[in-house]
């Protein structure tokens, strides 16, 4: 009986943490390995602004990865809930 309750908690934790990470990373549809940063520099002589683009490497989780992981966590939670309820 305790194992199914543990499965419920682990499944819920995985689902919530993966979706929170997805939201923090920008709620993108696809996982990105680089992100564009635009820096603006003011030219003191002419008074114009120039844009300097830099691509920073990193991992930003998208829904293509977070969706199936969250679905697996919700599925584990449902299986644990169903099995625990069935044993009562």
Q: Where are the domains of the chain?
A: 2-87
Question: Given a cut of 70, is residue 77 above it in pLDDT?
Answer: yes
Angle, helix 63-87 to helix 2-24, in steps of 10 degrees: 160
Query: Is the sign of the CA dihedral 27, 24, 54, 48 positive or negative?
Result: positive
What confidence tens digit (pLDDT) does each residue in 27-64 have?
A: 989 989 998 899 999 888 888 898 989 999 988 899 99
Count CA atoms closer than 13 A to 36's CA, side-chain side.
Answer: 4
Question: Given a cut of 90, is residue 2 above it in pLDDT?
Answer: no
Question: Given a cut of 90, is residue 84 above it in pLDDT?
Answer: no
Count CA atoms closer than 13 A to 5's CA, side-chain side.
Answer: 4
Instruction: Report the predicted TM-score, pTM, of the whole model to 2 decimal places.
Output: 0.74
β-bridge partners, 40: 51
């Amino acid at each position: 009986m305790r194992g199914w309750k543990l499965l419920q908690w682990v499944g819920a934790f995985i689902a919530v943490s993966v979706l929170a990470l997805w939201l923090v990373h920008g709620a993108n549809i696809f996982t990105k390995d680089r992100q564009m940063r635009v820096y603006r520099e003011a030219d003191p002589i002419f008074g114009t602004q120039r844009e300097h683009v830099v691509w920073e490497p990193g991992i930003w989780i998208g829904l293509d990865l977070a969706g199936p992981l969250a679905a697996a966590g919700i599925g584990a939670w449902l299986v644990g809930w169903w099995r625990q309820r069935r044993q009562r």
